[in-house]
Amino acid sequence: MRQSNYYVILFSVILTVVLGGLLAATSEGLGPIQKKSVELDTKKQILGAVIEVTPEMDVLETYEKAIKSEVVDYNGNIVTENEKGEKIIAEDVNVEKQFDKAPEERLYPVFKFFGKDGGDEVVSYILPVYGNGLWDNIWGYIALDTEGETIKGAVFAHAGETPGLGARITEEEVQARFEGKELYNDQGELVSVKMLKGENNPESKLDEHHVDGMSGATITGNGLNAMLENYFKYYQSYFNKKGTTATL
């Protein structure tokens, strides 16, 4: 009986070790594939803020031609190295992890769009945004004109908003509402762009600073508004240093 128990225990230990090794090897082998998938999805979202991303499009090739990037700090200064002297690459900056830091301590990626086929001049600046929805985090990419004053496109995503309600921020029709909206008022003050409460609001309320809301998704809409206002402020120093006259 003792020998039988011994063999059972030994078999269990060996099986655990073998299965653990197989799982570790599988995880190690899938790591590069998962990383590539995340890279593809991220670049697809960035491009999606300015152009239509079709199934037949080679996203990575298009991105390589169309996008150049840099990283700035809270004061709008371009940052090229970390404290260890290592090169900082915008695509490698984890905006979710940066979100846990104080705004003054974060790194802010900037993606410069030069046209679908590339070019010599910046057509649009694409900024990542991150915030809180109803149940979990929400995020996205906002494309602005070269002065950082007008929205040219938007892409939003979420981790766990309610289907048919807050989750509608991923719908093209909702995202398209932000196109052409203005960040600054006539006095040059940053007022951001806000989603209204409720849906089918009268046209009189849908001015250059407001978009129609989503029925039953007030908290998600409020989170979206806070996210946009915060990040427009965070990037304001960057655009001020590029020559825009708009101020707080």
Structural domains counted in the chain: 1
User: Is 31 among the domain residues?
Assistant: no
Q: What is the pLDDT, as a whole number, of residue 247?
A: 38
What pLDDT digit, counting tens, does each position of 33-87 carry?
667 788 899 999 999 999 999 999 999 999 999 999 999 999 999 999 988 889 9
Task: Round to whole Å and give the CA distance between 237 and 187.
Answer: 18
If one compares 189 and 244, the residue with the highest pLDDT of the two is 189
Judging by DSSP bridges, how do beta strands 194-195 and 108-113 pair with one another? unpaired
User: Is 19 among the domain residues?
Assistant: no
Nearest-CA neighbor of 228 among 183, 184, 172, 188?
Answer: 183
User: Is 39 among the domain residues?
Assistant: no
151, 181 in Cβ contact below 8 A? yes
User: Is 22 among the domain residues?
Assistant: no
User: Is 69 among the domain residues?
Assistant: yes
Q: What is the pLDDT, as a whole number, of residue 24?
A: 60
User: Is 70 among the domain residues?
Assistant: yes
User: Is 77 among the domain residues?
Assistant: yes
213, 196 in Cβ contact below 8 A? yes
Average pLDDT over residues 118-144: 96
**Can you tell me whether residue 153 is helix, strand or coil?**
strand
Q: Which domain holds residue 88?
A: 44-241
User: Is 73 among the domain residues?
Assistant: yes
Q: The whole model's pTM is what?
A: 0.84
Task: Round to whole Å and give the CA distance between 210 and 212.
Answer: 7
Average pLDDT over residues 126-139: 97
